[in-house]
Structure 1
Amino acid sequence: MLKLYGFAASNYFNMVKLALLEKGLAYEVVPFHGCQNPAILAVSPRGKVPALETEHGFLSETDAILDYLEETQDGPALLPDDPFSRAQVRAMAKEIELYIELPARLCYAEVIFGGRATPEALKRKAERDMIKGFSALARRAKFAPYVMGEQFTVADLYFLYSVDLAAEVAKKLFDLDVLADLPQARALLALLAENPNVQKVAAERAHDIPLFLERIKTAG
């Protein structure tokens, strides 16, 4: 059986978990918090989550894990059939990660975790990059009704677990509504929220968030 290592407060862990659920795959969750001790590094070379244990060994990095699941496992496809459309979906997922999720992540400590203030230079960079990222999303995404068309794909996994956090960062730090001109993105978030698998992941995340914040507080 596949084993998913990580914790439910992690958005990248939840991308993989939702993929497993959508494909109807059996899996076991192994509680796992990234750090640099040898036992952790034996599973994930950089001490990051998520990691996936397969019959062949461990995989890390979310996009590699999602590709592995798509190429080796049964269940509904999370990528289109033709190569060009598959590449477009992968490109959209990467754009969401690089230009929306990662800029917002610069400010997670302050906004999401209630920790130290974000240095002003990083804050300004995050604001600039997120504005550009959401502008690119508006130009590239189809929202028909899913990010890249009629099919739920890996682009929707990145969208679901990146856009809401980025929007929270933008509103709290910059008083900026990054979805103001993207009603179709709001509609997709509402549609996805009706998915029972999304609801399951959200409930487990809500349960884990206080525990995660307490771990951060204790470690700090």
Structure 2
Amino acid sequence: MQDVERRLEDACARSGRRREEVNVVAVTKYVSAELAQRVAAAGCRHLGENRWPAAEAKWRLLQGQAVFHYIGSLQTNKVKDVVGRFDYIHSVDRLSLATEIHKRAASLGIAVPCFIQVNVSGEDSKHGLAPEGLAAFAESIRGLAGIRPVGLMTMAPFESEAEETRPVFRELRRLRDALNERALLAEPLTELSMGMSNDFEVAVEEGATWVRLGTVLVGKEDNG
């Protein structure tokens, strides 16, 4: 963890940012509840999971001690398991999903902070809106009080050289700023969820406010 912290501080220094501008989501989906508890106790209170069944034991163990982020692709029929348990959803990418989140949240009397997922790289293997559909999508969810869009999320291609991911992160920041200029949402988007173990330093240099770190921070257990 100390090495990751040093690398985050250096990336912030290179880009003229303050370290507190960047939040870390510790991706605990591959590790046990016990290790997730140790991660939270060490100061990484934001935990990332992508399936409720795998996250349930951690959620029950760490309620009140951790902030849970849903970082995987979310099916509409699984929304009932996620809303009310996860504090953030990073993968809103279609109107049917946004509507279902809204309905479930409204029934609970809450509004869920959400990231709109954009497939900046255009890879078929990745989920997310096409960049050219972002504005229309933003307009379509404006009236859904059960979701509170806070930013954009993307996943860059896995590259052997992290520098090659820079255009993807730079474009996500541009898309966020362009959306804010048009004021298509009730409130401006302030967040960018981008950057993983392989490329988080480049993401920070390009404006990430949330990085999602698994192997480089938490590791991976064979039985996780």
TM-score, normalised by the number of residues in structure 1: 0.31
